């Protein structure tokens, strides 16, 4: 994963489709969590439900999202 500043594009440049940014919103006491994915050009937002705040749940949610998008 690259930092926004390491990927070689101007962070405010939205000319290239297909670039996604992710973030994590964590509730009180680090219990509930929601992953967010935003496609930079269209600003399409996908919220990922995370039943636990850990890497395994985040990975599973990202895989579910990618599978729902289709592809080869």
How many degrees, rounded to 5, is the angle at CA 47 between CA 43 and CA 49?
170
Q: Alpha-carbon dihedral of residues 2, 64, 47, 40, nearest 10 degrees?
A: 40
Q: How far apart are CA 32 and CA 66, in angstroms?
A: 22
- Higher-confidence position of 71 and 27: 27
pTM for the model stands at: 0.64
Q: How far apart are CA 34 and CA 25, in angstroms?
A: 5
> What is the total count of domains within the chain?
1
Domain hosting residue 48, numbered range: 1-72
State pLDDT tens for residues 11-50: 567 777 777 888 888 888 877 888 888 888 888 898 988 8
Kind plus residue range of the DSSP H or E element containing 22 = strand 20-26
pLDDT recorded at residue 5: 66
pLDDT recorded at residue 70: 61
């Amino acid at each position: 994963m690259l930092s926004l500043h390491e990927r070689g594009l101007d962070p405010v440049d939205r000319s290239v489709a297909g670039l996604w940014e992710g973030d994590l919103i964590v509730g009180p006491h680090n219990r509930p969590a929601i992953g967010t994915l935003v496609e930079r050009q269209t600003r399409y937002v996908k919220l990922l439900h995370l039943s636990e705040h850990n890497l395994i749940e985040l990975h599973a949610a990202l895989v579910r999202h990618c599978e729902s998008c289709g592809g080869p």
